[in-house]
Amino acid sequence: MHAHDPQPMEFGPLGPLQGSTRVPGDKSISHRALMFSALARGRSRIQGLSGGGDVMSTAAAMRAMGATIARAGDGIWEVDGVGTGGLLQPAQALDMGNSGTSTRLLMGLVATHSITATFIGDASLSRRPMNRVIEPLSRTGAEFTASPGGRLPLTVRGICPAAPISHSLKVASAQVKSALLLAGLNTPGVTRVFEPIPTRDHSERMLRHFGVDIQVEERDGGRDIALRGEAELEAREVQVPGDPSSAAFLAAAALIVPGSEVRIEGVSVNPLRAGLFELLQLMGGDIALDNPREVDGEPVADLHVRHSRLRGIQVPAHLVPSMIDEFPIWFVIAAFAEGTSRAGGLGELRVKESDRISAMAAGLAEIGVRAEESPEGLAIEGSGGAAVPGGGTILSQLDHRIAMSFAIAGLHAQRPVRIDDMAPVATSFPAFQSTIEGLAA
């Protein structure tokens, strides 16, 4: 059902990258903007929504459950919500495509409505673990029937009224946290989540923007979150900032291609998302966060990045959660630094769209970069700024971030790097190639 024609493509040097550009709306914030406005009463207006495939999977699911979602212009969407408790029984299985965030957050929403929904997805999503949400959500009284190993396809039989739950996260995961908070919206009483390690807090910030009573307190280095249920969300205007996880690829290109200087405007620099930029500064990268401001409760800045001599580094453990999706492109950046770079504590990377540790180790070997894989990490030997050998073919494995990371490596390689399939890039950054070409022109 999800088979697509592979789009093989070669990436070689294009010369220095120069000029200003923008990136798509933040994917995490876009999912939440659609879900919360679809749940609010009245008409919300979203500006800067990501047009990527993952966010469109969320839009299709919210429509299938009763919301009206219409595109009113470039990146502008209008959503008529159903009101908390008002989700309708979907007529067919909800197709989540490649999107883990859509799946796990919507499982939380469905769990506390009187509806039953089946979730399906592509081959990558169908390998990803869902027990991390099934187990805590089962305590609401909802029932789950999953494929072996807690995988898709799976069916959620929601319950209303549900029981409020109190849960301490076992893995640092904003998706699990958000699934439980979303389940709490249509539940009497207070839903509580404790996260020992803080993760991206877009759900908390945006629920507050939609008028929900949500309290966050710091405790023992983590966060206690309490959400008052039977919440009425009020329709809102939401402006979605640029996606730092997409900007990361352009920043990487500017850092490694000699002579480059690039500005990326209006990027989210939420401290729980901006770990990569801090790490690159520690490595000697010339990255400035200009014109800092706040947009609808989210910190935003313009990134100014220049080609830099980078020093290898051991990634400080406290930065890992705030750059969890940026490790594939960071491994590529490390391949151009001086000396060896190392990162550990990355077990979660093995359960993303691909096993990102082994996919990156295999790809780096393919382009002539020495890298050593360990159960939870990777060590990369850098070229000291010289072009890497390149050549070879990278298997993108239905993982947009693997495809984009090696495309960037090709921009400073002795021989072009071939990617077997660039189609997955459309899940988060459909204009990736044209944006790079625009900066090189």
Ligand X SMILES: O=C(O)C1=C[C@@H](OP(=O)(O)O)[C@@H](O)[C@H](O)C1
353 touches, from ligand PEP, ligand X, none (C-beta below 5 to 8 Å by class): ligand PEP
Select the residue interacting with ligand PEP from 401, 417, 421, 432 (CB under 6 A). 401
> How many binding residues for ligand PEP (CB under 6 A)?
9
- Find out whether 194 and 222 touch, Cβ atoms under 8 Å: yes
Residue 19 gets the label, from left (phi > 0), alpha (psi -120 to 50) or beta, of left
Please indicate if the annotation marks 405 as binding a ligand: no
**What is the spatial distance between Cα 17 and Cα 340, in angstroms, rounded to a whole number?**
26
Pairing of strands 393-394, 377-381: unpaired
Check whether 99 is labelled as a binding-site residue. Answer: no
Cα-Cα-Cα-Cα dihedral sign, residues 122, 112, 183, 36: positive
- Residue 80 among known ligand-binding residues: no
d(CA 140, CA 156): 12
Q: Exposed, middle or buried: residue 5 (CB in 10 Å: 0-12, 13-18, 19+)? A: exposed
Q: Which does 174 bind (CB under 5 to 8 A by kind): ligand X, ligand PEP, none?
A: ligand X
Q: How far is the CB of 101 from ligand X (least distance, A)?
A: 4
**Alpha-carbon gap, residue 409 to 405, rounded angstroms:** 6
Q: How far apart are CA 392 and CA 359, in angstroms?
A: 14
- Work out what residue 99 binds among ligand X, ligand PEP, none; the CB cut-off runs from 5 to 8 Å by kind: ligand PEP
Min separation Cβ 419 and ligand PEP, Å: 17
Answer whether 31's CB lies under 8 Å from 59's CB: no
Residue 53: name the closest of 147, 124, 111, 116 by CA. 124
Nearer to ligand PEP, 177 or 401 (CB): 401
Residues at the interface with ligand X (CB under 6 A): 28, 101, 173-175, 178, 200, 324-325, 348
Q: Is 243 annotated as a binding residue?
A: no
Q: Is 355 in the site for ligand PEP (CB under 6 A)?
A: no
> Cβ of residue 273: shortest distance to ligand PEP, in angstroms?
12
Let me know if 325 is a catalytic residue. Answer: yes
Catalytic residue among 95, 325, 355, 399: 325
- Tell me if 100 is assigned to a ligand binding site: yes
Residue 140 is a binding residue for ligand PEP (CB under 6 A): no
The two beta strands, 9-11 and 417-419, are: antiparallel
Cα–Cα distance measured from residue 305 to residue 252, given in angstroms and rounded to the nearest whole number: 9
401 makes contact, choosing from ligand PEP, ligand X, none, with CB < 5 to 8 Å by partner type, with ligand PEP
With CB under 6 A as the contact rule, the residue among 101, 140, 191, 322 that binds ligand PEP is 101
Q: Between β-strands 371-374 and 393-394, what pairing exists: parallel, antiparallel or unpaired?
A: unpaired
Q: Which does 377 bind (CB under 5 to 8 A by kind): ligand X, ligand PEP, none?
A: none
**CA contacts within 13 A on the Cβ side of 436:** 25
Residue 356 known to bind ligand: yes
On whether the CB atoms of residues 407 and 11 are closer than 8 A, the answer is yes
Question: From the CB of 362, what's the least distance to ligand PEP, in Å?
Answer: 18
Q: Does 204 bind ligand PEP (CB under 6 A)?
A: no
325 binds ligand PEP (CB under 6 A): yes
d(CA 417, CA 402): 13
* Torsion over CA: 237, 239, 245, 246 (sign): positive
CB of 60 to ligand PEP, least distance (A): 15
Among 30, 246, 428, 435, which residue sits at the site for ligand PEP (rule: CB under 6 A)? 428
Q: Give yes or no for residue 99 binding ligand PEP (CB under 6 A).
A: yes
Token couple for 337: 């630094």
Enumerate the known binding-site residues for 3-phosphoshikimate: 27-28, 32, 173, 175, 325, 352
Interface with ligand PEP by CB under 6 A: which residues?
A: 54, 99-101, 325, 352-353, 401, 428
- Residues with active-site annotation: 325
